[in-house]
Each structure stands twice: as C-alpha cells, then as structure tokens.
Amino acid sequence: MQKIIRFFLLIFILSASQLLGNERVHGPYLQDVRPSEITILWETESPAIGKVLFGKEADVLNMSVAENEPKSLHQVRLSNLQPRQQYFYKCVWHNGESAVGSFRTAPANETTPLRFAVVGDSRSDLVMCKKISDLIVASNPDIVLHSGDIVARGKNLHEWKTFLFDPMEELLRNIPIYPVLGNHEQESPHYYNFFPLHENKPWWSRDYGPVHIIGLDTSVPTDPQSEQYQFLLADLKQNTKEWTIVVFHYPLFHAHPTRPIYEFRYDWQPLFMEHGVDLALTGHDHYYHRSFPIGRMAEDQKGVVHITSAGGGASLYPIAPEPYSAYYRSLYHFLTIDVTENELEIRAIDQDNRVFDGIILNKNQDYSPANFVEYGMFELERKLKNQLGQLSPTNSKNNVVFFDTTFAIETDFYMPVSGHYEWQAGSAWKLKSSSKNFTLTPGQKLQIKFSGEVDKKNFMPTPELKLHLEADNSTRNVLGHRPYQRFLGFRNQDLHFSIEEAAYKNAVLSSVENLQPVFYFLDYYAESKYAYDVIVALGTRILRTQDRRILTNLETLLQKNPSDLNKFRIFPFYFLFNDFSHLEEWIAVMGRLPSEHLSFAPKLICTLTDLDFFNTNKVENWQLLGPFAAEKGQGLVHVYPPEQELNFTKKYDAGTGAEVQWHPYAGKTIDLLKALTAPDFAFKEGIAYAHTTVSASKDGEILLLLGSNDDPAVWVNNKEVHRKKGGRSEQACQDMIIAPVKKGRNDILIKVGQHGGAWGLNLRISDWKKILE
C-alpha cells in the first residue's frame, strides 16, 4: 500500500513540476544598444538565475554573462563589446534556453551609414503585426522605433504577450526596440516593467551614431511647467548631434477627419523649431501621413517634417488632408530611415514590401518655399479660435439673444498681408456687417466684428467665419526673407472657424472660471454636433477638479430653462458628483421624451463610467436559466420559479416541452439566443434569467447600469429594484438602478423578456462608494 502511495506521490510530483516548469514567457528582446554595450531581457515563469551566452558566430557562443540572483524578468547587460559588430546570443536558465538571436552594436564613428526602422499602432491585428514585423526584420535595420499603442489595453498583462512578444518575437530577438507610450498603454506599470531602461519615466533620450533620439509621452502633461517639457528643453539644449528625431504618439499635425488639434502642438513645435529638430515621428492615427517641413520663414528655419506612421496592425482610418499634408495614404506599412552625415533618406514601405513614399532630408539643401509651411499661421489660427470660444451674448430679450463683439488678434507677419473675412450663417441669424476687406501691416492686429441677433430656438447651427489671407509678394525683399507661399490662405486658401467647435475647445481647455460661454452653448447643444464631446470634456474636467461650481452653474441654467430635454441631458453632471437626487425625476423625464433623444445620456454615462474614477466593472460571470415559454406580453408579469427560489441544481419545466437548468456563462454581453442555444426564440415570446453575485465589505448602495433586449426586471437579494416593460434594442447603460447591498454576498437576479428578434443583456456595476470587495 505504501508503495502505491509513494508511486502516486511520485507521479504527482512529476506532473506538478511539469506544470510548474520554468518556461520562457516573454522575449528575449534587446534594449539600449551602444557601441560597446547592450541589454538583453527575457522573462521566465518563475525565478531562475539567467545567463547570456554570446559570440561573433552563431555556433561559437564562447562568452557569457550571468545574473547573481534568481529573477523572473531577466536583464543582462553585455559590455566591452566591439563597435559596429554583429554578435549572436542565447539566453539560458536552469531548465530552459531561448532560440539564438543576433544584434549589431552601435557604431563608434558618426559617419557610418545606419538604418532605423519605424512602426506604430501594431496592436489588435496579430497577423498584420507579424507580417509588418517580419518585413522590418528583412529590411535589416540597426534599431526600431515604435511610436506607441503596442497593445490594446496596457493594464492587461496577457496583451503584452499576445500583441507584442508573440507576433514580434523575431524582431525583438534581433533588433533593439525603442518604444514610446501610446494612449492604449494606459501608463501601465507593465510598460515600465518591460522597458526598465526608461527608469520609470515616460520620456527618454539616446544617441545613436550621428542621431539624437528623444521619446516623449503625449498622455501626460506637456505644458511648459510640466516635468516632461523641462526634460525636453534641457535635453535639446545639451544635444550636439547632427540629426534630431523625436518620437511620440499623438501627432502635432494630423489629417484625421474628426480629431481636434492637440494643444501641445503649441508647446512642443516652437521648441522643435528653435532647437533644430529634423523629424517628428508619431502614431495614433492609423495611416501614413507626411507633412511639409513646418517652421518660421522669418528665421530661415529648415522646418520640422512630421510623419505619422501608424500602420503596424490596428484597423486603418480615413484621411482628411490638411494644407500641410505633403503625402498620405491609409495602408499598413512601416518606415526605414537611412542615416548618413548629410542626409536622412526616409522610405515608407507597404505590406507587400513596396516603397510608396520617400523623402530625403538634406542638411545642405534649402527647401523651396512652395514646399514649406509657415508656422505663424497656426499661432494665428489658435488665437482666433480661443477668442471665438469665449463668445457670449451681450444681451437677451424674450427669446432673442444679441451679440456685439470685436475680436482683435495679434499677428506677427513680417510683410503686408491683405485679406477679407465673412460670417456665414443660417437664415435664423440676422448679422450686421458680416464681411470686410482689410490690409494688415506688420505688427497690426487683425480685427473681426461679430454683431447680430438670433432667436434662441434656432441657435444651431452657429455662424462660421471664413477668413482669407494673402501675402503681398511685391514687398518680399524689404526684409530680405523668403516669401510666404504655402499654408492657409497665402495662396488662395481659406480658414474656416466654427463657433461651435470653438466652444467645444473652450470646454476642453478653459479653467472653470472661463466656462460661462460653454454653459450658454449647452443650453442649445441638443442640436450641436459637438454636444457629446462638450459634455465628455466637461465631465472629465469635473472628475479632475471635483469643482462643484460647474454643477451650480448648471443648476442655474436648469432653473432658467427647465425643459425636459435639458433635465435629461444635464443629469449626467449630477451623476459625476455622485449626486443621485435627481435620478427619479430623470427616469420620469426619460419616459416623456421621443426615442431619438434617448441614446444620448446612456451613451454619455457609459463613457464617463469607463473612467477609472467610477470603479465600474462590466459583469462577466453569470449563471443563466432559460428559455421559458411566455404568453404574448405576459412574460414579465408571470412569476417563474427563480423569482421564488434560487436553486442552481434544480431542473425546471420550461413550458416548451423541455427542462431547463442553471448553467455558467462568461461574457460581458450575453446573446441569449446563443447562450441558451435557443435560436428559435428569435421568432417567439420568452423569458430568461441571469444571475450574478457581488460581495460587499459593508452595507451600502451600488449603481447597476443595465442594458437589455427586451424588457428587464431586477432583484437584489430577493427584493425587486427595477422593472421596465416593453420591447427595446440593447445598449449599454440604458437603465440606472440604485441597489442596496448588505455586507457579504449579494445575489443579483435579472429577468429578460423576449418579444422576437435579438435577445440579450449587459450589466455594469458602478461601485462609487467603494464598498465592493
């Protein structure tokens, strides 16, 4: 008997050790290569002492460096290497080893020709990511720069394997990678863990041959007071390299059809211009876009070329070209940059390995003015938009509001500029003197008058300003500068400014004190295409500042204009302050509104609850029961067994000729036709039940955000907390239910009716009082 026990014990130990085997999880991958050094990293399932064997030939790995203590994430620095030399290596640990990889050290000599590769937004499509990654390997670069969005959700550890370490395995094993953080990395600790050489900072810089490379993070503050800006400024000042390349995620000059201009354009671009940055590489917008060099002609700058290279795998975006767009295509791709002392030769290469765009930046060559963009115009555009965003009525009487404002914008043209402006408005607006011709001498302010009236109810769309500017080329030689040729009006191109857009921008950027115009527009925003963005922007601001003055302003607005629509749309602001005092009123208003208005607030609340602040979880673990047969229109009313007892082992007569039993289901949204294997219920009346539990550390309340198709009823701990009759299609956050919970385990039971067609539900639980465990 003892022998048998020993035998099974041995089997158990053997299989357990196999289960606990020390397999490679991530890597190896290469970091921070220099003329005589490189760091090799890899991760094993459990701690082990790692060692790197290396040599100049693949089959002669006659040198080694070992770690001193067992680790899971191994990090071995090789030193005393020869510059510009190919080495082969493999990583070994007590019961495993990696495949053999290779790398080239950096050159000691600044005149050695080099090749960099660039890729961005490689998340989400593993097949394309691998394809592009393999093409990069085949192009044989010295290093690869990644412009961010390596993974879809950086806080999910498994995605680093799925989206980075698996599809890019060969690239990572053979080419040192220099990544920056994209928004999808979510400032995640995993990023810093995997790239420890960044020393827990989201910004970094390195020299490679004659190139200084700076990596920045566009998801953290960028303004002149920020730590990042101070780093950038100091780094640019001490930089002595011939070429400077900056890599970051959000583009300063994009061609996305709907995204706003990112404000850090005005922080960083002047620094780039002043300190001679040659190339800015960015990601985020999933296409290829190359700008003309952007700089100041008056200072005879060479300008900064901005390239968005975000074609590494994530689904592609359409492009809306801007006047600064030199070349653009929406396709999967990567870049190579060949570096010599005098030239950067950039090639954009598609997924079939064809070069589809190229540019040579040459230190000794002047760009033609026709291919140069004057940065001063962007500053003018910004100042004008800022002022439009502050626009408020000067007076109002009955339902009519009056405007009488003159905007005065500073300019810094260095030659005379002529032009005209015109306000374009719908027939509801009565505008006075809505257009004007003007000439500006250097230093003179651009003055634009806005005067008129409109009936409140016909406020949208707001007027748009059309501005045309043209330089007087006859005086081009007065100051000895190159003439303006390109960008926004200097060759018969016009600027358009929308007041709505300006109000949106104002909401995003203003301090709380300056938000008054936004509230004014909120009153009318039901018709504005920016309505949703304005509220999300305000919501984000509230969450950041928790400034209750915003709510006070909204309450004032609501008192002045307590229409159902305003009550309905303003509710999300109360929600932001965890103030549910108007919830019942909100639900009552919802019943009175026509259906076209109903999706707005739930969509908004969904967006807001996605922010970390709300501690909202999408429920994934369920028990399901059904389908039960139902009489037409009677299913929600009829009492089925789960409403009387929760017994997860019992079988029930479903009234369909079959028996049903609770069974587990995992998923954030439940398609009941599939989950209950009941496709025939697409054509029948029916009832299903979904059950989940939450555990609370004390008695209190949680917020249930329910979406369902069709009508739901909800019980928490056998007490009914919600019921809504009638067919509907499913969205997230359709119903908001405040539910009492008790210390310990709580049962949540949801009944969902089916009246034909799709059948399903989804549930988010917002733990705003932070009582759930």
Spatial distance between the Cα atoms of 597 and 582, rounded to a whole number of angstroms: 18
The DSSP bridge partners found for residue 624 are: 663, 690
Inter-CA distances, 211 with 147, 240, 248, 279, Å: 17, 9, 16, 11
> Among 22-30, 40-48, 183-191, 738-746, which window interacts with Fe ion (CB under 5 A)?
183-191
In the complex, the smallest distance separating the C-beta of residue 282 from Fe ion, rounded to whole angstroms, is 10
Q: Which CB atom, from 286 or from 582, has the smaller least distance to Fe ion?
A: 286
182 counts as binding Fe ion under rule CB under 5 A: yes
In the complex, the smallest distance separating the C-beta of residue 249 from Fe ion, rounded to whole angstroms, is 6
In the complex, the smallest distance separating the C-beta of residue 32 from Fe ion, rounded to whole angstroms, is 25
Inter-CA distances, 610 with 537, 613, 765, Å: 14, 8, 11
Q: Which CB atom, from 255 or from 469, has the smaller least distance to Fe ion?
A: 255
Spatial distance between the Cα atoms of 256 and 250, rounded to a whole number of angstroms: 11
For the chain, the helix, strand and coil percentages under 3-state DSSP, each to the nearest 5: 25, 35, 40
Residue number of the CB closest to Fe ion reads 284
At residue 29, what is the residue type? Y
Q: What character string, x for contact with Fe ion (CB under 5 A) and - otherwise, covers 232-271? A: ----------------------------------------
DSSP 3-state assignment of 620?
coil
Kindly determine how many residues on this chain lie close enough to bind Fe ion according to the rule CB under 5 A.
4
Q: Which CB atom, from 34 or from 153, has the smaller least distance to Fe ion?
A: 153
Q: Which residues of 632-654 are buried (b: 16+ CB within 10 A; e: fewer)?
A: eeebbeeebebeeebeeeeebeb
> Among 141-149, 356-364, 567-575, 698-706, which window interacts with Fe ion (CB under 5 A)?
141-149
Contact call for residues 101 and 41 (beta carbons, < 8 A):
no
In the complex, the smallest distance separating the C-beta of residue 182 from Fe ion, rounded to whole angstroms, is 4
CB neighbourhood size of 359 (10 A): 18
Token reading at 570: 């303003």
Q: Which CB atom, from 334 or from 520, has the smaller least distance to Fe ion?
A: 334
183 counts as binding Fe ion under rule CB under 5 A: yes
185 counts as binding Fe ion under rule CB under 5 A: no
In the complex, the smallest distance separating the C-beta of residue 508 from Fe ion, rounded to whole angstroms, is 18
In the complex, the smallest distance separating the C-beta of residue 33 from Fe ion, rounded to whole angstroms, is 27
Q: Which CB atom, from 183 or from 607, has the smaller least distance to Fe ion?
A: 183
Among candidate residues 262, 269, 261, the one with its CA nearest the CA of residue 304 = 269
Which H or E element spans position 720?
Answer: strand 719-723
What dihedral angle (degrees, nearest 10) is formed by the CA atoms of 154, 156, 162, 163?
A: -10
Spatial distance between the Cα atoms of 647 and 720, rounded to a whole number of angstroms: 18
In the complex, the smallest distance separating the C-beta of residue 154 from Fe ion, rounded to whole angstroms, is 11
DSSP letters spanning 367-389: PPGGG-EETHHHHHHHHHHHHHH
In the complex, the smallest distance separating the C-beta of residue 126 from Fe ion, rounded to whole angstroms, is 18
Task: List the end-to-end C-alpha distance of the chain, in Å, as a whole number.
Answer: 46
> Among 19-27, 138-146, 175-183, 273-281, which window interacts with Fe ion (CB under 5 A)?
175-183
Q: Which CB atom, from 149 or from 533, has the smaller least distance to Fe ion?
A: 149
Q: Which CB atom, from 284 or from 722, has the smaller least distance to Fe ion?
A: 284
Contact call for residues 656 and 648 (beta carbons, < 8 A):
no
In the complex, the smallest distance separating the C-beta of residue 449 from Fe ion, rounded to whole angstroms, is 41
In the complex, the smallest distance separating the C-beta of residue 283 from Fe ion, rounded to whole angstroms, is 6
> Among 78-86, 133-141, 179-187, 624-632, which window interacts with Fe ion (CB under 5 A)?
179-187
In the complex, the smallest distance separating the C-beta of residue 219 from Fe ion, rounded to whole angstroms, is 9
Strands 616-618 and 373-374: unpaired
313 counts as binding Fe ion under rule CB under 5 A: no
| Interacting residues of 455 by C-beta distance below 8 A, sequence separation 6+ | 399, 400, 428
Tokens 């044989």 belong to residue: 140
149 counts as binding Fe ion under rule CB under 5 A: yes
Spatial distance between the Cα atoms of 326 and 349, rounded to a whole number of angstroms: 17
Token reading at 244: 């400077």
707 counts as binding Fe ion under rule CB under 5 A: no
In the complex, the smallest distance separating the C-beta of residue 236 from Fe ion, rounded to whole angstroms, is 25
284 counts as binding Fe ion under rule CB under 5 A: yes
Residues 411-470 that bind Fe ion (CB under 5 A): none
> Among 281-289, 341-349, 622-630, 659-667, which window interacts with Fe ion (CB under 5 A)?
281-289
Tokens 């082969």 belong to residue: 88
Q: Which CB atom, from 256 or from 755, has the smaller least distance to Fe ion?
A: 256
Q: What character string, x for contact with Fe ion (CB under 5 A) and - otherwise, covers 574-613? A: ----------------------------------------
Q: Which CB atom, from 264 or from 640, has the smaller least distance to Fe ion?
A: 264
> Among 182-190, 195-203, 413-421, 641-649, which window interacts with Fe ion (CB under 5 A)?
182-190
Token reading at 261: 């201009």
User: Which residues form the interface with Fe ion (CB under 5 A)?
Assistant: 149, 182-183, 284
